[in-house]
Structure 1
Amino acid sequence: MMDKNKIIGRLEKSDSTILSFPDRGPWGDSRYRGNCSGWVQAFLIWKYHVKKLAELFSGSGTGYDVAKDMGISYIGADLNPNPVRPGILTVDAIEDEVPAEFMDADFLFMHPPYSNVCRIHWAGERAGYPDPSGELRKKDLGNMDWDTFMDVLNKVVMKYYSAMMNGGRMGILMGDVRRGGLHSMLMDIVKPGQLEQIIIKAQHNTTSSASAGKYASRNFVPIAHEYLMVIKKISPYIITFSLEKKYKCDIRDSRQATWKDVVAAALQKRGGTANLEELYKEIDGHEKCHRNQHWKEKIRQTLQLYPVFQRINTGVWHFASA
C-alpha cells in the first residue's frame, strides 16, 4: 500500500516524455521477471485522469495494486487460470472475446510478453500455474517466434481497440530485443486510432546493461529503454491504422540506383575484383540492361569514369573500397 498523495508527488517530479523509476514500487510481485514498474500505470492514471483502468496481460497484479492505491476502478485479464488478484479475469486474449467489463474502461494498458527471443516463458513454469495438457503454453505469446508473436499481438491489439469506448485510450509498453538481430516492437506493432504520445521509459538493472563491459569493444549499445505508446480511439466505427510494410528491391532493377552503384555492387558480389565478362554476367538480364541497349559499353564507361574503380590488369577491375 502507498498513499495516493505521495504517489502523485513522485509523479509530478517525473512529468516528461522520459520516465525513470529505479524502484518498481510496492506493487505486484518482483519475482515475475519482465513485469513492469507500477510507476508506469500510476503515471498513466495520473496523467490521463483515468477513472477505470483495464489491463491485459495482468501477470503479477501490479496494475490492480496501483489502481487500488490510486482510488480508481480496475479490471484485468490474464492467461493464468488462477489469477493472483480478485480483479483479474482468466482470459485467452487470442481466442476469447474481449470481456464486457473492459468496454467501459477509459484506459486500456498492456505490457505484452516479448516473444521467445527473450526466453521468458510463463505458462506452466515461473508463474506457478498448472499446464498439464500444454495448451496454455501454445497461447503464451512468450513462447512464440518473433514473426508469429507480432502477428498475433497485432490481432489482439486491433480486437481490444475495437472494443474500447470512443474517446478511450490504450497504452502499450514495449521494447527492443537484440538476439539474433534487432527486433523492435515499436516498428512492427500496429498503430490504430490517433497516436498521441511516445514516451521513453528507462530500464534499470537489465541483463543488457550487465553485459555492457563484456561487449565494450564491439558495436554493442546496451538497451536501456522501453517505449510507451499512447493511442486514442477517435471514431466508434472507423478504424484508421498504420502497420509497417517491408519492401525488397534489386538495385539492378531500380531507376534510382546509378550505374556506379550497380557496378560497385557487382564487384563487391565478386569479392571486390572481377573481369568484364564476370561483371556482364552479374548485371545481364536486369532492367538496367533492358533500358540501355548499350549496357556493356555503359559498364566500361562507368569503370573508367570513377576513381573508386581501379584497373589492375587488362579487363580486370577492382573496387578500391572493398
Structure 2
Amino acid sequence: MKSVMSFPDRGPWGKSNWRGNTSGYVIKEMIEHFKPKLFVDACEGSGTSGDVCREMGIEYVGLDLHKGNDFTKDYILSQLPRPADVCFSHPPYHDMIAYSGEVYHGIREGDTSRCLSPEEFISKSQTMLLNQREAVRDNGGIYATLIGDHRGGTLGKGNFRSYQADFIQMMPKDELLSVAIKLQHNCLSDDRVYSGSFVPIMHEYLIIWKKASKSLVAVSFDIANELQKRVATTWRNVIRVVMMKLGEAKLDDIYKEVEAVASHLLGVNPNWQAKVRQQLQKHHTNVARGVWAI
C-alpha cells in the first residue's frame, strides 16, 4: 500500500452503475496491508467491500442506510460478532449525490448527502468516525474513511471545502496513521472543458487512524484540548501580523486593527480585548504607557 493510489479499472466487485462506488482495489489494498480477520464497512453501498472480502476469504460485516443501519444512531459494535480489525466508510458527501429521497423511498435522517450545510455534514461525520473507532479492537484496530473535497454551487463559483482537513482536525491527533491520495477515473466531469481559474477535483483521500486504548471520554477531551490550542495559536499569530503591519501603536489602534482582521475570532471570545492585552504582554514590547511594538 502506497500514499498515492490509481486504479483506472474499478474491478469486478460491486455494481458498476452505483454512483460514488468505491474501487474494490482500495479495499483489496487495505486488506493486503493490514491483514484483518474481520473487516467492516459502515456504508457498503453496492456491496464492493463484501465481494472483495469473500474473494479473499475475510470475515465481513456490511452495514448501510438502505439495510436499516444508521451510523449516526446505531452503535456499530453492537451489530458485530466481536470488535473489528478494520472498520471502513465511504460516506455520502454533503449534497453531491442524494442517496435517499424519491428514488430510495423517503429521505433518511442519517443520510449525510441530505445535510443542509457543510457544518451538519461534518458534525454527523464525526459521529460516524467515533462510532467506527468504538467498533474496532483496542491497541491497533484500524478505522478509515474515504473522502473527497467539495465545491458547492455552479461550476467554479461555489465555495471549496477540503473535508479531509476537517476530518483530521476533529479526530485524535495521536491516532492518525496515514493519509493516501486516490486518483479518480471515469468521472462524469472528465470530458468537460473548464475555463478561467476553475480547478477540477480529481482525487479523494483515504484517511487511516489506528486506535489506542483511550476511552471515548478521554478522546473527546483530547480533541477539545487540541482545538483550544489551535485557537490560542491563531490569536497569537493574528496579533503578531497586526503588530508587523503597525510596527508601533497605541492600544486603541491595535484594538481597531484586530477588529478589522479577526472578526471570526471575536465572535467566539467576548473578552477579546483582554486576550489582545494578554498576547501583547507575552510576546511584544511595551515601549511606553499604552504603546506596544513588535
Q: Specify if TM > 0.5.
A: yes
* Counterpart position of 1:191: 171
Distance 1:27 1:261, change over 3 A: farther
Is this contact kept in 1: 2:143–2:209, CA < 8 A? Answer: yes
| Cα drift, residue 111 of structure 1 | 0.5
| Cα drift, residue 210 of structure 1 | 3.3
Aligned pair partner of 1:170 in 139, 143, 158: 143
* Counterpart position of 1:153: 125
Aligned pair partner of 1:200 in 161, 177, 181: 181
| TM-score (normalizing by structure 2) | 0.72
| Cα drift, residue 287 of structure 1 | 6.9
* Counterpart position of 2:70: 92
| Cα drift, residue 125 of structure 1 | 4.3
| Cα drift, residue 101 of structure 1 | 0.7
- Structure 1: state its 5+ residue gaps: 1-14, 82-89, 263-281, 299-322
- Structure 2: state its 5+ residue gaps: 153-157, 260-276, 278-285
| Cα drift, residue 76 of structure 1 | 1.1
1:114-151 alpha-carbon deviations (Å, 9 max, x no partner): 111x2x0011445xx423xx4x2x32100102110101
| Cα drift, residue 234 of structure 1 | 1.5
* Counterpart position of 2:111: 140
* Counterpart position of 2:256: 286
The answer as to 2:5 corresponding to 1:19 is yes
Is this contact kept in 1: 2:242–2:257, CA < 8 A? Answer: no
Distance 1:284 1:202, change over 3 A: closer
| Cα drift, residue 161 of structure 1 | 0.8
Relative to its length, the structure with more helix (as a share) is 2
Aligned pair partner of 1:227 in 201, 205, 209: 205
Q: 2:242 aligns to what SS in structure 1?
A: coil
| Aligned-partner Cα distance in 1 for 2:209–2:127 | 16
Aligned pair partner of 1:63 in 17, 42, 49: 49
| Aligned-partner Cα distance in 1 for 2:134–2:243 | 46
| Aligned-partner Cα distance in 1 for 2:63–2:147 | 18
Distance 1:258 1:233, change over 3 A: same
Q: 1:171 aligns to what SS in structure 2?
A: strand
| TM-score (normalizing by structure 1) | 0.66
1:90-126 alpha-carbon deviations (Å, 9 max, x no partner): 311111222331642100110111111x2x0011445
* Counterpart position of 2:93: 114
* Counterpart position of 1:256: 241
| Aligned-partner Cα distance in 2 for 1:122–1:287 | 47
| RMSD, aligned CA | 3.3
The answer as to 2:104 corresponding to 1:104 is no
1:15-60 alpha-carbon deviations (Å, 9 max, x no partner): 4211100011111112221121111111101111121110111111
Distance 1:283 1:236, change over 3 A: closer
| Aligned-partner Cα distance in 1 for 2:244–2:3 | 45
| Cα drift, residue 255 of structure 1 | 4.2
| Aligned-partner Cα distance in 2 for 1:49–1:75 | 16
Is this contact kept in 1: 2:242–2:258, CA < 8 A? Answer: no
| Cα drift, residue 80 of structure 1 | 0.5
| Aligned-partner Cα distance in 2 for 1:203–1:16 | 16
* Counterpart position of 1:36: 22
